[in-house]
Amino acid sequence: MSDVAANLTEIQQHIHAACARAGRSADDVTLIAVTKTFSADRVREAYDCGQRHVGENRLQEAESKIPLLPASLQWHYIGQLQRNKVRKVLPQFCLIHSIDSLRLAQYADEVARELGLFPQVLLQLNLANEESKAGFSADALRENWDSLLRLERLEIMGLMTVPPACDDPEQSRPWFRALRELRDELATLSETPMPYLSMGMSGDYPIAIEEGATHIRVGSAVFGKR
């Protein structure tokens, strides 16, 4: 078995164990293999093991791989989204995880209308208000919520976050829990279900699943060190 095959098998076991601990179904967790910095050949290894969801955080890098790989791969956009990339990102990605401001959301909505699309998106939260990270603070999201709901083209499927870096994955748990609670709060306010929670990376995805993650973004645990 290749490393990628063995790694995917091991991750699936961890996903099932975390779901069992949380009383959840493993069918409700989508593993996104994060392929940034890894070649199309490595991505194909994952594809050959049945992996269908992949994530990239740069448009240019994704565009260099997409034509080389089967069309049945589902590409997720997980990186910071610049305005000048929106027009190309919307048609090529199944889910955009990184809508990080009202301004960007409004612009993406406008472009989606021009292109005749109804893109599925997540709102990215910067829950710890880190200088180095993009995303809504919890309060900014509450303030902008009505305006976001008025956007007719964007289908807001849920929330995404990257918690502060830490050594002990348990330290991510309160951030994951806070994301779920914020989703519950906004969903109740507006009767917008927002079923998706994109949270958890190589170091902490089992904990994210225990706290309700529906999409985990896992790179190095699948493909090795970058």
- Measure the CA–CA gap between 97 and 135, rounded to whole angstroms: 11
Residue 172 touches ligand PLP, criterion: CB under 6 A: no
155/203 with CB nearer ligand PLP = 203
| Cβ count within 10 A of residue 127 | 22
- Residue 20, amino acid: A
Coil/strand/helix, residue 204: coil
22/134 with CB nearer ligand PLP = 134
Token representation of residue 9: 């098998």
Residue 36 touches ligand PLP, criterion: CB under 6 A: yes
212/219 with CB nearer ligand PLP = 219
User: Residue 39: which residues within 8 A CB-CB, separation 6 or more?
Assistant: 65
DSSP symbols for 75-115: EEE-S---GGGHHHHHHH-SEEEEE-SHHHHHHHHHHHHHH
- Piece of 99-107, 109-117, 134-142, 212-220 that binds ligand PLP (CB under 6 A): 212-220
Residue 208 touches ligand PLP, criterion: CB under 6 A: no
- Measure the CA–CA gap between 212 and 205, rounded to whole angstroms: 10
Residue 217 touches ligand PLP, criterion: CB under 6 A: yes
Residue 214 touches ligand PLP, criterion: CB under 6 A: no
Smallest separation, CB 194 to ligand PLP (Å):
19
- Interacting positions 37-96 with ligand PLP (CB under 6 A): 57, 78-79
Residue closest to ligand PLP (Cβ)? 219
Q: From residue 171, give the alpha-carbon distance in Å to each of 23, 117, 133, 174.
A: 22, 39, 18, 7
135/212 with CB nearer ligand PLP = 135
Smallest separation, CB 46 to ligand PLP (Å):
13
User: Residue 19: which residues within 8 A CB-CB, separation 6 or more?
Assistant: 25, 26, 28, 29, 209
101/220 with CB nearer ligand PLP = 220
Query: Interface with ligand PLP by CB under 6 A: which residues?
Result: 34, 36, 57, 78-79, 162, 201-202, 217-221
